[in-house]
Structure 1
Amino acid sequence: MNDLAATAAPGRTPCAPTLRAALRRAAPALAAYAAVRLLGVTVLAVWSAANGKNWHTLLTARWDSLWYTRVAEQGYGYSVQLPNGDVHSNLAFFPLLPWLERGLSAISPLSAADAGMVVAWLASLGAAWALYATGERLHGPRAGMALVALWAVLPVGIVQSMAYSESLFTALAAWGVYCVLTGRWVWAGVLASLAGLTRPVGVAVVAAVWVTAAVTVRDERAGGANLRAILRGRHRGMLPGVLLAPLGWLGYFVWVGARQGSPTGYLDVQGSWGNGFDGGIAFGTFIWHQLSGPAFAAGLGLLVGVALVIWLYARGVRQGQPLPLLVYGGTVLLLALTAKGYFGSKPRLMLPAYPLLLPLAAGLSHWPRTRAWLVIALIATGSAAYGAFWLNGSGPP
């Protein structure tokens, strides 16, 4: 077994030499990831300078990053009332990133905004490592490298370098799911809880832990084992992991509800932002309006994009992708496609759905190296240009 679990018993932390060996294996993938992100930031800097804008401001002090910084500096309680009467409250933003921004700025010369960017950059490397470990475990080292590269060159990959919570969430989620894959149930529960303090979609990591645990118990019992033997045997950390997993997400949901004086307090806050879940009705209506109006090409592009991500998920199912990845990736995809709100955010919302890239990574790993890297380099260039154009325009809300 060529992964972190090679010398570690289930539920235990791997020894330092194993971690060092794993990091050495992942180092080329991390270097490639850093190169792609450096290209993206460099193109952004040049493009921004040509437009009279500041690349640093675009990465740290626009859109959601301003809300995270305000939470870090002033805490919760800030809101803005729009002309139509809607109230945008900073309670919509989960607390882990602002906590880290506040902590890092308190012990360093960094502002909260700059601390957020540092956290995002470091977390994106942590996410890349987790993706490499996942791809390596399932399909070999070249697939691990391909998975990291594909995630780095996504059209909205520039968000990975912003003071947003996507990189932090993906790192926690990817390592949490990896811990489920390798039987580290307690670590999986801790990481799921932290992911649940980072973004609402943290419930996807909880689902991966819970569903995998339930199926594991079912299969073990079908083989003749009793429940006590299962939970005290090689799955002895399963019950604590299952109990820990929802604490972050549920804790923040309950806290906001208590603060708002309503069990649905967080949903009400999101509703005031125009967000929520309607089963995809609003998104489907939006696509239909595009297809039936002058923006037919844009609507067709959206339809093709939705079909592509659904096809990638189905491909993963057909290829026998492990259950934790299917549950996690499927939940992220489902929540993204069935949410209402600003539809330009959907590509960003699907950024953490890295399991969708596994079929492509597995296929790419069989290509000749020169051809594979040429394709990645071309896509990376296009992604960097698109990211610079995007942030200098409407940007990611």
Structure 2
Amino acid sequence: MTDLETPLATPPGASAPRRAAPALLGYAAVRALGVLTLALWSAANGKSAHTLLTARWDSLWYTRVADLGYGYEVRLPNGDVHSNLAFFPLLPWLERLVSALTPLSYADAGLLVSMLASLAAAWGIFAVADHVYDSRVGVCAVLVWAVLPVGVVQSMAYSESLFTALAAWSLYAVLTGRWVTAGLLAAFAGLTRPVGAAVVAALWVAAIASFVRDRSAHPAHGAPVLRRALGMLLAPLGAAGYVLWVGHRTGKGPFGYLDVQAGWRNGFDGGYAFARFVGDKFTSFPSALAGVGLIVGVALIVWLYVTCVRQGQPLALLVYAGIVIALALCASSYFGSKPRLLLPAFPLLLPLALALARLRTSRSALILGGVALASALYGGFWLNGSGPP
């Protein structure tokens, strides 16, 4: 087990491609199964899997930013204003760059970026789990992340995969004492999604804890302090820069981004709206089953987080996962989006990965294979139905 404030020594070659290869091959196989299942399901329903992956919901907003820049908005009959300023810029920037360098459309460029980012995310998750535990747990962690019920989002032109990749590698850099690298990756994560604040907070808390520990042990060491300080300064620049730019663009100052989110009826209310949403499910018998499922799901998330604490995960992982959970569950709107908003909270999966790693390989493979098939079928059903809003 690890000390909550002290990262373990880095295993030799913890992030080497050869060491991560089994995890990446397994991840690619699970995602290929998911996409193939989606294609077959969509064809049977007369729909295009390509359209479902590239041109619905948030992916449309990202491609509009890539194509038209910021300023596009939709005014709804009830007076709400949906502005594309709500969407952070890194993914559309990359879509525009890839489209300029290749024959791909913005939508297909987004799909390519997401595909490559999901592999980078899988590699980063492996590196973190390998560092904290060992390579076997790392492989299991990647596969558990791949077979999540909403894992199909990892293959969509959404920003979850890109964000998770940047977050995982930033956290790995924190755990291995590469503070400047961690700060740069945290800054890019902050340009990807609002939850980039979780990466910044994780870096800051870990850096302060490390500073306090090292100062008492080695008061004369100035260079590590400077590197930590530089990493801390770099980390918030992405998110802060975009939020301040939106405030300037809207003429509403530092809180302009919150007004943009309010136009989407989205905000942070401590979970009150979500609790009411769950409570409303118990007004009839069929929906009550969904309410029970939501309560069980939230209880499982809380149990996993408590288990992470009890197993002594490094402080950076605990802070990061805790903030991702809080922002996902305590948002005041888009309740159907909460499963995918939790997708970047990969440290929650480490207790499950540790349990799988203790099983025989044949047994863990059987479990993961069965869950992968169920996840692929659910992904096909989900995207051909309501899908992620």
Mapping 1:197-216, distance limit 5 Å:
197-216=191-210
Question: What amino acid is aligned across from residue 242 of structure 1 in structure 2?
Answer: M
Matched, 1:128 2:125: no
SS in 2 for 1:386: helix
Quote the offset at 1:140 in angstroms: 1.0
Q: How far is the alpha carbon of 1:135 from its aligned partner? A: 1.2
3-state SS of 2:74 partner: strand
Alignment deviations for residues 153-177 of structure 1 (CA, whole Å, 9 cap, x no partner) = 0000000000000000000000001
Is 1:237 the counterpart of 2:227? The answer is: yes
Name the structure 1 match of 2:250.
260
Q: 1:277 aligns with which of 249, 268, 280?
A: 268
- Secondary structure of the residue aligned to 1:80 is strand
SS of residue matched to 1:198: coil
Q: CA deviation at 1:234?
A: 3.8
1:183 and 1:235 in contact (8 A); partners too:
no
Who is 1:323 aligned against? 315
Instruction: Pick 1 or 2: higher relative contact order, CA cutoff 8 A, min separation 6.
Output: 2
- CA–CA distance in 1 between the matches of 2:188 and 2:294? 32
| Residue 380 in structure 1 maps to residue 372 in structure 2 | yes
3-state SS of paired residue (1:264): helix
> SS where residue 88 of structure 1 aligns?
strand
Task: Give the structure 1 partner of residue 387 of structure 2.
Answer: 395
- Note the 1:16-165 alignment, pairs <5 A: 22-165=16-159
User: What TM-score comes out, normalization by structure 1 length?
Assistant: 0.93
Runs of 4+ more than 4 Å apart: 3-7
Provide the C-alpha distance between the structure 1 equivalents of 2:382 and 2:186, rounded to a whole number of angstroms: 31
Partner of 1:12: none
For the residues of structure 2 that align with 1:358 and 1:313, how far apart are their CA atoms?
10
Match for residue 298 of structure 1? 290
Give percent identity, aligned residues only: 63
- Amino acid of the residue matched to residue 68 of structure 2? Q
User: Helix, strand or coil: the match of 1:200?
Assistant: coil
Retained in 2: the 8 A contact 1:337–1:346?
Answer: yes
TM-score, normalised relative to structure 2: 0.95
Cα deviations by residue, 1:213-249 (Å, 9 ceiling, x for unpaired): 11112222344x44xx34x244441011000000000
Which letter does structure 2 place at the counterpart of 1:373?
Answer: A
State the secondary structure of the residue aligned to 2:16. helix
Residues 128-167 of structure 1: CA deviation (Å, up to 9, x unaligned)? 0011111111111110000000000000000000000000
Amino acid at match of 2:278: I
Partner residue in 2 for 1:288: 279
Q: Deviations over 1:28-81 (max 9, x none)?
A: 110000000000000000000000000000000000000000000110000000
For 1:127 and 1:318, the matched residues in 2 are separated by 25
Matched residue SS, 1:94 = coil
- Let me know the Cα RMSD of the aligned residues: 1.4
| Counterpart-to-counterpart distance in 1, 2:87 and 2:291 | 30
Which residue number in structure 1 is paired with residue 185 of structure 2?
191
Unaligned runs of 5+ in 1: 8-17
Shift of 1:292: 3.9
For 2:29 and 2:9, the matched residues in 1 are separated by 25
Residue aligned with 1:279, SS:
coil
Q: 2:95 and 2:108 mapped to 1: Cα distance?
A: 8
| Structure 1 residues 4 and 63, CA gap change in structure 2 (3 angstroms) | farther
**What do the CA deviations read for 1:169-201 (whole angstroms, capped 9, x no partner)?**
000000001100000000000000000000000
